[in-house]
A = this chain, B = another copy of it.
Amino acid sequence: MNPDRLEQQMRFLIEIDKLKHVFRQTLLMDASRYENDAEHSWHLALMAILLSEHAAEQQLDTLRVLKMLLIHDLVEIDAGDTFCYDKAGNRDKAAREQKAADRLFAMLPHEQGPEVRALWDEFEAGRTPEARFAGALDRLHPMLHNYQTRGAAWRKHGVRKKDVLDRNRAIEQGSPALWEYAKRLVEESVRKGFLCE
């Protein structure tokens, strides 16, 4: 074992503690405070463990799904959280996140940085079954929080039923079953007044 290599990995692990300070637009399910990216990533990983049977593809590499979900938001340490319905913020999001990825993953030892970067690129591109399933969970998760908090983030930002369906339609590519569930959640939310038509 090369102590410099371990030291470099530890510096990265210390750096990413900052993800616990990146707050999202989503409230915790008891609506007591905003959720941060580290908690969100943990919750997604649990969803992947428990819901992989509902993925579009049955022969999924769950380890790769988990790795992607656990690292997918690290770039927000530099780039910040961009609310998915914020059109202006989403215009330069990709460029901000690429720059963040360049800095962060370069902190890792020589072959490990590119490995983690490749996982992040795969998640972002959404072209493999694993990335599509991970992406579906990343979209479904805030919908669960919104439903549990009576549409708090939707109402705060004037998000409507059509916005939610347009934004989250990609869930179907990763999991038709979860997309059916998501659509029922949207209908229930409209019926209960958590989301406007």
Residues 25-48 of chain A, each 1 if its beta carbon lies under 8 Å from chain B, else 0: 000111010011011011101110
Distance between Cα atoms of A62 and B21 in the complex (Å): 27
Q: Are B17 and A50 in contact (CB under 8 A)?
A: no
Judge if A71 is at the interface, Cβ distance under 8 Å.
Answer: yes
A interface size (C-beta, 8 A): 45
Judge if A13 is at the interface, Cβ distance under 8 Å.
Answer: yes
On chain B, the residues within 8 Å of A70 by CB distance are 42, 45-46, 49, 66
Interface contacts beyond A10-B144, A20-B39: sample of 4 additional A-B pairs, CB < 8 Å, sorted by A: A1-B177, A6-B54, A36-B39, A49-B116
10 contacts between A and B (CB under 8 A): A6-B51, A12-B50, A14-B144, A20-B28, A21-B30, A38-B38, A38-B39, A42-B45, A49-B67, A62-B63
Chain A positions near chain B (C-beta within 8 angstroms): 1, 3, 6, 9-10, 12-14, 16-17, 19-21, 28-30, 32, 35-36, 38-39, 41-43, 45-47, 49-51, 54, 62-63, 66-67, 70-71, 108, 112, 116, 144-145, 148, 177, 181
